[in-house]
Amino acid sequence: MNDPRDFIAHEAALLDARRFDDWLALFADDGHYWVPLLGAAQADPFSHNSLAYEDRLLLQLRVERLKNPRAHSQHPASHSQHVLQPSRIEEEGTDDVRLRTPFLYIEARGDDQLLLSGTARHHLIRTPTGWSIREKRVDLLNAARPLPAIQLFI
């Protein structure tokens, strides 16, 4: 999987298959998952709040919680579907690459279905074993509007 665009598709497929441990393993040790409250307009995760700004420790917490049968909100369980437009490479260095991927995200649970749209922006770094995620930034179209619970990973 040398083409980083294939890596992006693979990452989303792992989430939709609920293979969360395998998904988490894609992140670099200093990797972050970030959903800014201002979407694409937000400069950084510190001057303004975010729906999520999580390092590996907090992502691990999410993944471990989902394994607990007493994660009450997962009865019934949530399932996701990422519908991705082709990823476009924005910037390419010798050891890293930045891509943007417009998407629709559907999360279904019981009788309810949630639809989100936005653009994922990945910063990947090259490692001896392949690509690794330094940052996955999810710019939602409407992050600051009232939202219901979003339980899995966009």
Partner 1 sequence: MTAYRNRPDLVAALVRDDRVHRDLYLSDELFALEQERLFARTWVFLGHASQVPAAGDFVTQEIAGRPLLMVRQPDGAVHVMYNRCAHKGTQLVTDESGNTGRFFRCPYHAWTYKLDGAPLGLPLKNGYEGTQLKACESGQGLSVVKHVKVYRDFVFVRLSDTGPSFEDYFGDVLGALDNMVDRSPEGRLTVGGGVLRNIVHCNWKMYLENINDTVHPMSTHESATKAAEALWEGHAPTDPKPMAMEQILPFGSGYEFFDQMGGRVFANGHSVLGVNFSIHSNYAQLPEYEAAMQAAHGVARAADILQRSPQNSVLYPSLSVKGSPQAIRVIRPLAADCTLIEAWSFRAAGAPALLFERAMSYNRLVFSPVSVVAHDDVHLFESIQKGLRAGGNEWISLHRNHDPAETQQATVTTNGTNELLMRNQFRAWARAMTPEVAA
Beta carbons within 10 angstroms of residue 16's beta carbon: 17
Output the CA–CA distances (angstroms, integers) from residue 133 to 7, 100, 147, in the order listed: 10, 13, 27
Coil, helix or strand at residue 93: coil
Beta bridge partners of 107: 80, 114
Q: How far apart are CA 124 and CA 130, in angstroms?
A: 10
Query: Considering only CA atoms, which of 133, 95, 150, 98 is closest in space to residue 119?
Result: 98
By the rule CB under 8 A, 145 interacts with partner 1: yes
In whole angstroms, how close is the CB of 135 to partner 1 at the nearest point? 17
Nearer to partner 1, 13 or 61 (CB): 61
Residues in contact with partner 1, counted by CB under 8 A, come to a total of 31
Choose one: 15-23, 30-38, 87-95, 126-134; the region binding partner 1 (CB under 8 A): 30-38
Choose one: 13-21, 47-55, 81-89, 125-133; the region binding partner 1 (CB under 8 A): 47-55
Question: Taking a C-beta distance cutoff of 8 angstroms, is the pair 92, 126 a contact?
Answer: no
In whole angstroms, how close is the CB of 133 to partner 1 at the nearest point? 18
By the rule CB under 8 A, 49 interacts with partner 1: yes
By the rule CB under 8 A, 111 interacts with partner 1: no
Beta bridge partners of 137: 34, 121
Q: How far apart are CA 41 and CA 37, in angstroms?
A: 9
Choose one: 21-29, 34-42, 85-93, 129-137; the region binding partner 1 (CB under 8 A): 34-42
Choose one: 4-12, 62-70, 82-90, 95-103; the region binding partner 1 (CB under 8 A): 62-70
Residues that bind partner 1 in the complex, under the rule CB under 8 A: 35, 37-38, 46-53, 57-58, 60-62, 64-65, 68, 70-73, 144-151
